[in-house]
Amino acid sequence: MIATNYRGPYRIRADRDKSLPKIEHPNDAIIRVTRSLICGHLYHGLVPDCRVGSVFGHEFTGVVEEIGKSVKNLKVGDHVVVPFNIACGSCLFCKHQLYGNCHETVPQASAMAGFFGYSHTTGGYDGGQAEYVRVPFADVGPYLIPEDISVDDAVLLADAYPTGYQAAEMADITEGDTVVVFGAGPVGIFAAKSAQLMGAGRVIVIDRLEYRLEFVRRFAQCEAYNFEEMDDPVVFLKKETDWMGADACIDAVGCEASGSKLQGILGVKMKIRSGSAVALQWAINSVKKGGTVSIVGVYGPTANLVPIGNAVNKGITIRSNQASVKRHIPHLVEHIREGRIRPSEIITHRIPLEEVSDAYHLFSNKLDNCIKPVLIPPHANM
Amino acid sequence: MEQIRDTSSIKGWGADSDKLNRPAHTMWEIPIEGTGAHWETPEQQPGFKDFVSIERPRVTKVFGNTVHPKGLSGLVRKMAFKKSEGTFSHWMMLIFADRIGIVEGYLDDFKQGKLPHPLRERGWNMDKKFKTRRYYKVLTMSGLLTVGLIASVVKLTYGNRR
Ligand SMILES: NC(=O)c1ccc[n+]([C@@H]2O[C@H](COP(=O)([O-])OP(=O)(O)OC[C@H]3O[C@@H](n4cnc5c(N)ncnc54)[C@H](O)[C@@H]3O)[C@@H](O)[C@H]2O)c1
Ligand SMILES: [Zn+2]
């Protein structure tokens, strides 16, 4: 079958000779992929134990082709969206709906649940940027796409939209709050929109890419500003919020943040810190005393330059996690159904799976005003 | 400064403001059922060929079964997995092994009769379309480099004969 093949940082291709996935556990399913989204920083070689030869892709939809003998909740032919976390449904964490922290799916590490196509630090599973993919715990993860929801909307329920939603949820928004979202990528865009849906009085998005700021202003009906035009984003935000700071700040940027030479050199170039934590630094410094900082941006596992002293002095709450995707899907489907949001509006490019090298380069370099490209395998009807 | 005050223009504004209507909110207080699991503990997937974190007592019930450790990178990974997840050396060794894996990847490609194409794998076609100047710069540089390389090889082999 055709499958992506990671060859090292910034190098990926589609091979045609990958063997088909097999049922390896009674609760596995094999899924024929219909849509698969691209997400960036794995491709930059920043995630440890990301082995050459891996198949990427953790946001996908597909049709069930084969099921293991213990699968009860799915049948062959079902069209499903598959959450990016692989969860057993029965461990302590799954029982509390912390599906992003399932304890039975990653032998190599203990913090997170397994992810599809995302290094051996998350279990070493092949991902969905392929024609077929093995989906473990098929009775837990996959969600049947309702008739009235389009596949393009559904595929965003695998990660980006639930992650943005959880970012807003963790920000503990009460009606009228001022919420600042750092990052106008897919996750930040959905976080801003979700903050509105939770009744925020004012949502301010910060990024440096004009086309994304433009998009989020329209999509989430919020304010959006370019930090490259500011002397100091923290002072700008203080001024914007009556010199008090925002009630909540959301970090939807993660370890590849720009905006500080020091952080960039130590964290991204030399890798002696796990990435550049500029956005998080700004978030902690610009939130109101007693406010909440919600982190969904991804950081490496070691340590970052974060103003923890300031966090203590201001008495802020920091909440963070990998999104518990399965927990959010039914509720987010309602939002789509009610017409409050159309997630697929962020899809800017539709690219055949065979052209995966180009798709990654486009996304990673933010060429052609790219927000989110979707890969389409040859047998999936466009 | 532009500010949005008339929230009635925002589709769905406040739809989630009451936490009781936000079933996703209180994780620890609601008794949870319906995760889809119909087992107390899952069955064990057989055939594990990888490393287990020393912060775990055993292999997990399910795991990814691809790109198993091998070669020099595999040896470095083996060393890395002697350290716990909180240590800097664990992760640095893994990143180091990943870099060794790149070289091994080239060798594997050659062994399988595949010619790796680093530029195409980097998606340079997109540069041709959207970053034309960068594209031609890379093209010229790699052209010059190749010509230079061939010239010096020729010079070394034939130059010495005289
Ligand atoms: N926790 C989860 O479950 C989860 C799931 C998916 C993605 N993520 C993470 O969320 C983050 C965002 O994902 P994405 O897909 O939107 O990525 P993206 O790269 O498309 O977006 C990041 C945006 O941040 C902007 N940016 C860079 N530095 C900034 C700064 N200092 N301040 C403000 N903005 C800045 C960039 O210009 C870019 O537009 C990533 O770290 C990703 O790995 C987390
Ligand atoms: Zn679990």
What's the rounded Cα separation, in Å, for the pair A221 and A214?
10
Domain positions in chain A are 3-159+324-376, 160-320
A98 pLDDT higher than 70: yes
Tell me which long-range contacts A90-93 makes (C-beta under 8 A, separation of at least 24): A90/B35, A90/B37, A90/B39, A90/B40, A90/B41, A90/B42
Owner of token pair 């939807």: A252
- Which residue CA neighbors atom 21 of ligand 1 most closely? A185
The reported pLDDT for the residue numbered A274 is 80
Assign B5 a pLDDT band (cuts: 50, 70, 90): low
Which carries the bigger pLDDT value, residue A63 or residue B135? Answer: A63
Q: B42 in contact with A at a CB cutoff of 8 Å?
A: yes
Give B75 to chain A, closest Cα distance, Å. Answer: 13
Owner of token pair 């399910």: B62
- What pLDDT digit, counting tens, does each position of B44-68 carry? 999 999 999 999 999 999 999 999 9
Q: A221 in contact with B at a CB cutoff of 8 Å?
A: yes
Domain positions in chain B are 7-116, 120-162
The reported pLDDT for the residue numbered A41 is 76
Q: Which ligand 1 atom minimizes the distance to the CA of A298?
A: 41
Assign A285 a pLDDT band (cuts: 50, 70, 90): very high
B143, HSE (Cβ side, Cα atoms, 13 Å)? 6
Q: Which ligand 1 atom minimizes the distance to the CA of A258?
A: 28
Give domain A160-320's CATH architecture.
Answer: 3-Layer(aba) Sandwich (3.40)
Provide the token pair at A39. Answer: 């997400």
> In A, which residues are within 8 Å of B117 by CB distance?
13
Q: B13 in contact with A at a CB cutoff of 8 Å?
A: yes
| Three-class SS state of A45 | coil
Helix-helix angle A186-197:A210-219, to 10 degrees: 30
> In B, which residues are within 8 Å of A72 by CB distance?
38
CATH classification code of A3-159+324-376 = 3.90.180.10
Mean pLDDT on A189-204:
97
Under a CB-based contact definition with an 8 Å cutoff, are residues A372 and A38 in contact? Answer: yes
Q: B118 in contact with A at a CB cutoff of 8 Å?
A: yes
Provide the token pair at B107. Answer: 């060798």
Under a CB-based contact definition with an 8 Å cutoff, are residues A248 and A171 in contact? Answer: yes
Ligand closest to A136 (CA) is 2
